[in-house]
Structure 1
Amino acid sequence: MDAKELIARRVALEVKPNTLVNLGIGLPSLVANFLPKDVHVFFQAENGVIGLGSRPEEGMEDPDLTDAGGSFVTAVPGAASIDSAMSFGLIRGGHLDMTVLGGLQVDARGYLANWMVPGKMVPGMGGAMDLVAGARRVVVAMIHSAKGEPKLVTECNLPLTAMRRVDLVVTDLAVIAPTDAGLELRERAPGVDVDTILAATGAPLIIPGGSAGTVPEMRLA
């Protein structure tokens, strides 16, 4: 499997049954494709859909049914369309159980930067700030490095999305949990050793038990 599928499969294991979950655009939207069949969840998109399904088969796209990034999606039985006021009321009111967002950087404090790069045109911040501030649990799904540069850094040099620590970071190399003590390495990707992860990370990582041999391989089932 490629890096994005690996990340999406691992994040899908974090989704709990009977919850309301927001999936960000891009990589996070793939999570819906790998949800276990016995896990019933309503996925929400901030553009006003509750009950998103996986991407439609080619030729079955509905131009009136997209996620917040404009990508085609399906709807599960019981899905609903709502207006933006209701959608952001759910987010800001603390009614989302979890959000899965992409990331440009995550720093040693667990703060996320994911909405803009200074000097570059962006379509807008979308709902990222509201989602990080309002969702009960925030999971970041991102590639570990970009153009050879680590995306896990000591301190973000890009504008922060919100002044709240995220709960989990899943990359193509590792599962990392921001804690009061710093970034803790929880799992390593199949075939990836701890030294490789440390070398690709621009922030200190805490190794549970102090030994590389204690870090289990990433769960994907």
Structure 2
Amino acid sequence: MGLHARTDYTKGVLTKEQLGDDPWKLFAQWLDDATSLDIQDPTAFALSTLDDQEFPHSRIVLLRDIRDGELVFFTNYASEKGQDLARHSKAGATFFWPQLERQVRIRGTVTQVAAVESDAYFSSRPRKSQLGAWASDQSTSTEGRDALDQQYAQREQEFEGGDVPRPPHWGGFAIKPVSIEFWQGRASRMHDRFRCDLNEGDWRMTRLQP
């Protein structure tokens, strides 16, 4: 198994002038660039949390909204990540778009979104996804696939002929960044890196060595 494959990054540059004084503008542009490409789940990011023993956990989730300087995603509050965030209201988010040779790392504080916002998003989901939110006791053990399918069938029967309400254990989280780092791959591993730190309401930009 070869683990020494190398890629020389040549698709772009990142300058202080491009970054400007508002990192959200560049993030929105990079996200728009990614969504314009024919790639799977361009809004996916690795969400990193700490468990009760302060071990890090990372998993892929989907960004569902950007508003008021916050990143919003939705999940089961009783899941592993939900419990982690209930204990430690800080998280990391890492976006990586290899087709663009770009990465964004975000650190921030996390809060639950208002119930009305979770209700609105849940009602927009496909019915099968709504049923899945009721059927799955996320992050707990199961006897097997048959048991999962049976749980789903039970919920399908329970809500047959009517709307599927949002489960009380399901909803959104919002990450409010205190640090945003942009990485643009460059040739010879001399990448462009800028970290933006929030300081008393203003963003302070720092170029980092690669």
The two structures have a TM-score, normalised by structure 1, of: 0.27
**Bigger helix share:** 2
Higher relative contact order (CA 8 A, sep 6+): 2
Return the index of the structure with the highest Cα Rg.
2
**Bigger strand share:** 2
The two structures have a TM-score, normalised by structure 2, of: 0.28
